[in-house]
Amino acid sequence: MKLSLCTISFRHHLLSLDQIAHWARLHDFQGIELWGIHAKNLAETPEYGKEWLRSYGLETSMISDYLPLEATEEEMINETKKLSDLAKHWGTTKIRTFVGKKGSAETTEKERDYLVTRLRTICDILYADGQVVLVETHPHTLADSLTSTLQLIKEVNHPALRINFDVLHVWESGVHPLDALELLRPYVSHFHLKNIQSSSHLHVFAPENVYAAAGSRDGMVSLFEGAVDYHEFFTEAMSSMEIHASLEWFGRDVKQILKEDATEMRRLADMLQKEKV
């Protein structure tokens, strides 16, 4: 198992990347998932990059951004190449994105064909540089359901297309995460991990709320205390694949929650490893 923290978790904190990396090393994380806007702003200080991060014993697990599939082709290609260069600088082959700005049921066939064509173009660009694009399973996108996600994989039909499996959002779609993983496993390159007290609180993860400094955090809970049973999920998942995952915490008490969740993840991984022996 390789576990990362996300710089997006510290978006409202007055902490430097040096402080975040130091804390990550101190608490035995293996990597840092770099939010796209952070990577772009850090481009102005090129001394920060893969070599610098390796000095902390860390790696960049992924750059998480939002590639503009709806923009002009020129704009989309330029943005993709910019992120590709940033990914090389930070030593990762993985770039995360969303596909579409509305749900699969609300997307017309023409709109879907357009997004599929654009996504295939992105795949071609990244594949040429040994990189991949990870489509996140997320509400109000073409990957908002298991059926649509599988269809998208088939439509794009490209080796550079991978899946960022957000366990909570898969659960939110009404499918048991383990059932979804059974079908998506060959395409999954990363997991996003977060939890919620109950489905009635899922609205707190709406972008307009979760990215706002004054947004509600009601219902956000630590990984092993919420509605999604992560003990069950990882007991099964860890038995059949290597886990590369990021703790995606948006609430308060960031360091304490990340520390507790990472400790429990490692305890569970150690327990399952001992059972195999």
Catalytic sites, residue numbers: 138
Angle, alpha carbons 260-264-265 (nearest 5°): 115
The secondary structure of 184-246 as a DSSP string is HGGGEEEEEE-EES-GGGGGGGSHHHHTSTT---TTEE-TTSSSS-HHHHHHHHTTTS--EEE
Crossing angle between the packed helical segments 254-276 and 230-237, to the nearest 10 degrees: 40
Contacts of 271 (CB under 8 A, 6+ apart): none
Helices (H) and strands (E) in the chain, counts: 11, 10
Please give the distance of CA 250 from its chain centroid, rounded to a whole number: 13
Matching residue, tokens 């205390």: 225
Please give the distance of CA 65 from its chain centroid, rounded to a whole number: 9
Q: Which amino acid type is present at position 261?
A: D
* Residues 243 and 237 sit within 8 Å (Cβ to Cβ): yes
Supply the DSSP symbol for 82.
Answer: H
Q: Quick check: helix, strand or coil at residue 101? A: coil
